[in-house]
């Protein structure tokens, strides 16, 4: 008995799809994160920060630029950078031109940690996520993710568009 598209409430089947989807995605995230942590002693957040800094001109960015790239709150970035600085992955320097902002600089140790983490991280994504599916299923995921992003008003980021 298919429910009308206009019903305000989901059918129990639809709700079950939601529950399975969201719970599975959570577990997936946790597994990949755990591998990154075990292989490279980096959290997901660490990885994003290191990635952004690696790609930045001079391996340095202002904290707010970093926050904008990663789409984090500034306060979240602030706390995270504090922890990363304590571990020697980044360094914060006073910004000469505008002393309100600080320059976040990738340290040699940070760059080394990031380089060492990349291959294992990609392998983990392959083994944990990609290998679960057939090529057709991966395309379906691409489609449904795109549909969802459109519905949510998010910019597209399809994998197929770059093929």
Partner DNA sequence: GGTGTGTAATTGACATGTAAATCATGTCAG
Partner DNA sequence: CTGACATGATTTACATGTCAATTACACACC
Interface residue list for DNA (CB under 7 A): 30, 34, 43-46, 62-65, 67, 72-83, 92, 95, 98-102
31 binds a second copy (CB under 8 A): yes
Among residues 5, 86, 94, 100, the one that binds a second copy under rule CB under 8 A: 5
Q: Which does 71 bind (CB under 5 to 8 A by kind): a second copy, DNA, none?
A: a second copy
Distance CA 81, CA 74 (A): 10
Q: Are 125 and 109 in contact (CB under 8 A)?
A: no
45 binds, among a second copy, DNA, none (CB under 5 to 8 A by kind): DNA
Residues 6+ apart with CB under 8 A from 158: 142, 145, 146
- Between strands 60-62 and 102-106, the pairing is antiparallel
Among 37, 43, 64, 145, binds a second copy (CB under 8 A): 145
Q: Which is nearer to a second copy, 3 or 83 (CB)?
A: 3
**Which of 3, 34 has the CB closer to DNA?**
34
Interaction with a second copy in 52-81: which residues (CB under 8 A)? 71
Contact 28, 34 (CB under 8 A): no
Residues that bind a second copy (CB under 8 A): 2, 5, 7-10, 12-29, 31-32, 71, 119, 122-123, 125-126, 128-133, 135, 137-138, 140-152, 154, 157-160, 162-163
């Amino acid at each position: 008995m298919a429910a009308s598209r206009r019903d305000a409430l989901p059918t129990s089947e639809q709700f079950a799809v939601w529950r399975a989807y969201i719970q599975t995605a959570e577990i997936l995230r946790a597994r990949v994160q755990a591998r990154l942590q075990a292989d490279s002693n980096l959290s997901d957040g660490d990885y994003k920060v290191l990635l952004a800094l690696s790609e930045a001109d001079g391996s340095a960015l202002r904290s707010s630029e970093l926050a904008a790239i990663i789409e984090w709150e500034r306060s979240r970035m602030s706390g995270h950078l504090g922890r990363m600085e304590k571990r020697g992955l980044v360094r914060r320097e006073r910004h000469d031109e505008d002393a309100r902002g600080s320059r976040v600089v990738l340290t040699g140790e940070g760059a080394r940690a990031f380089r060492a983490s990349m291959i294992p991280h990609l392998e983990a994504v392959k083994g944990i996520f990609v290998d679960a599916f057939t090529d057709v299923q991966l395309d379906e995921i691409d489609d449904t993710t795109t549909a969802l992003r459109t519905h949510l008003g998010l910019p597209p980021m399809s994998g197929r568009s770059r093929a």
